[in-house]
Chain A
Amino acid sequence: MKVTLQNLTKVFPGRNKQVSEDVIAVNDFNFEIPDGKLIGLLGPSGCGKSTTLNMISGLEKPTSGKIFFGEEDVTDLSPELRGVGLVFQNYALYPHLTVKGNILFPLQNLKKDKKLTKEQMNEKVEYVSKLVQIDELLERKPSELSGGQQQRVAIARALVKMPKILLLDEPLSNLDARLRLQTREELRRIQKETGITTVFVTHDQEEAMSISDMIVVMNKGVMNQYGAPQEVYEDPKNLFVAKFLGTPPINIFYGSVRSGALYIGKTEVMKAPGLDDREVYVGVRPEGFIINENGPLSCDLERVEVMGRDTSIVARHNYFTGAFIRAIISSEDAPRSDLKTVSFSLKKNKTYIFDKITEERLYLEN
């Protein structure tokens, strides 16, 4: 099922005298979630991603704008009529019911012509519990399960009624690092197997990048960029998106454009055809540095960290916005660690220029 958000806006009115300002949680959202895809809503906390998810589920009513499932306008439909499955961040498994009881719960709610017989229910429970691999645990109580198992039960409960759309709120945030890796692969597999359009919310860019078909990067209630993960990574539209995606994060320098060339400090680092003179930020991905003795960007070498195949160079530069530059290069090119300085030239396709005031990306002419 395709999901379309049209000018979706959610405003939380000021609560009292102390907090009288309205909070715009979601501001004029427009995008389309293609059928059968896995979409990651990505952004820092408080950016409105959970609110967006809740509006798709129907738990929150949008202040304005519309939501379509396929061609149907569901904006005013209550959650139970939308046919969505929702997995909560804390799983919200009913602690007094067994795993089976939890998974059966949505089925037992069905009424009239949709009502199922006991056998049909058991069949469905068996199917989903096999799908998420918890068929051994059906008689246990949630408190007797590990975090990862609880997560699977929550997904099974959301899937058992065959929702048109599966929504997951920070599905991996309560799991430890190893389980997170494993579960996200699992999530991907389940989504592939069922083909259900899935939207999940996360603040972890790695998580979103690794399993999503498409990601939506949000900040302060505004959608910043929407696209395939690699595409967004390679071609960020503004400074926020560039900074938010990627580990280690992108290196940002203060720079300027003067008569068709890009300067960091007083050194020209590359040509900048087609740009007017102005102050800019220069973003260089860690993999965008090339060791070059005669390279334009000369930095004070702090240390060299060898990590097998790659080597990470930690360095300082006066015009760097943070504390340390982190460059990743192939270990073969690693400089001697006793050197005082290291010089780089920059890869053109890994270097992005952003306007200092608007923080929007500036594109070079080819």
Chain B
Amino acid sequence: MNDRNYKGFLYLLPALLFLGIFMVYPLIDVVIYSLEEGYNFASGNFNGYGLYNFKYVLHDPFFIQALKNTSIIVIITVPLSTLIALLISLGLNSIKPFREFLQTLYFLPYVTNTLAVGLVFMILFKKTPYSDGLVNLLINSLGYSSVDFIEGPYAAKMFVMCFYTIWIVMPFKILILTSALSSVNKDYYNAARVDGTSRFRIFYKITLPMISPMIFYLIITGFIGAFKAYSDEVAIFGTNLNEAGMNTIVGYVYDMLYGDSGGYPSFAGAASIILFVIVFTITVINLLISKNKVNV
């Protein structure tokens, strides 16, 4: 190692130190926890190493429920939010008056506190002794009976959850996509216009390929974010997600550590590793697809 290298590492040291203590060490620790069988939180003893924790977690009905919930949220919200964000961005990009005003409006949810948004959704969906919620009023006016969105059937709860998730992730996607759209050189559109290209073909053959790197970025980060869903669920259904049947994988991990039935870092570790493997696999698949499809 020559002198310059040594100096370089010296500059990196603070960052490396912090990353090591707060990122790398915990990561390794989680793997170790997940392999320690019969770990006792109080005494710190365990019986030996093995895959029992994984077996237990994968057979735990609460985990299965959490996995199902998370998967549904991911599968519904990621494509839908990206698509809606794309449509809104296209709209924003093609209008001139009020464009900045509308952009601000669409961006507001991003700077709004999750719990505050949760309260708004309560007003929209929750049944109280005084009212069935705004959405139910709407449903009633169409001649249908009220639905209990917060404590009612699973599909209704899942609908609210997905609706909420889409709404909360949308602003960021709109922000990214509008800037991606406006960065496409106008000459491409002019060239296409002179050549008599139809609007659909311009979108499909020019706009979409040009912004595809950003779309894939949003899809990948969208998947990762949706798999890590937890706080949004708490904002709507409260902390006892298992009772509501709306727990997520991250929620399950939390419960295993600190919840009422908690104190099992091994199970929590195993669940985290499973989540990691899922997210990792999907991201790799995404990257493989994007390699062939995305134009840079």
Contacts and interface: CB of A to CB of B under 8 A. Distances in A.
Interface string B179-192: 00000010110111
A92 B195 contact: no
A88 interface: yes
Given A59-B190, A88-B190, A94 B206 contact: yes
Contact of B191 (A58, A78, A81, A86): A86
12 contacts: A59-B194, A79-B194, A80-B194, A86-B191, A86-B194, A94-B206, A96-B209, A105-B197, A105-B205, A106-B196, A157-B191, A161-B195
Residue of B191, B193, B295 contacting most chain A CB atoms (<10 Å): B191
B185 A84 contact: no
Contacts of A81: 196
Given A86-B190, A94-B206, A109 B196 contact: yes
Contacts of B198: 109
Contacts of A95: 210, 295
B201 interface: yes
Contacts of B197: 80, 105, 109
Nearest to B190: A59
Nearest to B193: A79
- Name which of B190, B193, B194, B209 has the most chain A CB atoms within 10 A of its CB: B194
A109 B202 CA distance: 10
B193 A80 contact: yes
A115 to B, nearest CB: 12
Most A CB within 10 A of own CB, among B205, B206, B210? B205
A109 B191 CA distance: 12
A191 B194 CA distance: 20
A-B interface, 8 closest residue pairs, ranked by CB to CB distance from nearest: A80-B196, A96-B295, A106-B195, A92-B187, A96-B209, A92-B191, A86-B194, A79-B194
A105 B187 contact: no
Interface in A275-328: none
Contacts of A59: 190, 193-194
B194 A85 contact: yes
Contacts of A157: 191, 195
A355 B71 CA distance: 83
By DSSP majority rule, is chain B's interface helix, strand, loop, or mixed? helix
B295 to A, nearest CB: 4
Contacts of B195: 80, 105-106, 109, 157, 161
Given A80-B197, A109-B197, 17 more contacts: A59-B190, A59-B194, A80-B195, A81-B196, A84-B194, A86-B190, A88-B190, A92-B187, A94-B209, A96-B209, A96-B210, A105-B192, A105-B195, A106-B196, A109-B198, A157-B191, A157-B195
Interface of B: 185, 187-188, 190-198, 201, 205-206, 209-210, 295
Interface string A111-143: 000000000000000000000000000000000
A95 B206 CA distance: 9
- A interface residue count range (under 10 / 10 to 19 / 20 to 34 / 35 or more): 20 to 34
Interface in A86-115: 86, 88, 90, 92, 94-96, 105-106, 109-110
Nearest to B209: A96
Nearest to A82: B194
A57 interface: yes
B201 to A, nearest CB: 7
B210 A57 contact: no
Contacts of A78: 193
Contacts of B210: 95-96
A88 B191 CA distance: 8
A78 B192 CA distance: 12
A85 B191 CA distance: 9
Interface string A70-86: 00000000111100111
Contacts of A106: 195-196
B206 to A, nearest CB: 6
Contacts of B190: 59, 86, 88, 92
A66 to B, nearest CB: 20
A90 B185 contact: yes
A168 to B, nearest CB: 12
Contacts of A92: 185, 187-188, 190-191
B216 to A, nearest CB: 14
Nearest to B202: A109
Contacts of B191: 86, 88, 92, 157
B200 to A, nearest CB: 11
A57 B191 CA distance: 10
A85 B196 CA distance: 11
B194 A58 contact: yes
Contacts of B295: 95-96
Contacts of B187: 88, 90, 92
A81 B195 CA distance: 9
Contacts of A85: 194
A318 B143 CA distance: 96
Contact of A94 (B188, B193, B194, B196): B188
A58 B194 CA distance: 8
Contacts of B196: 79-81, 106, 109-110
B186 to A, nearest CB: 9
B251 to A, nearest CB: 42
A94 B184 CA distance: 11
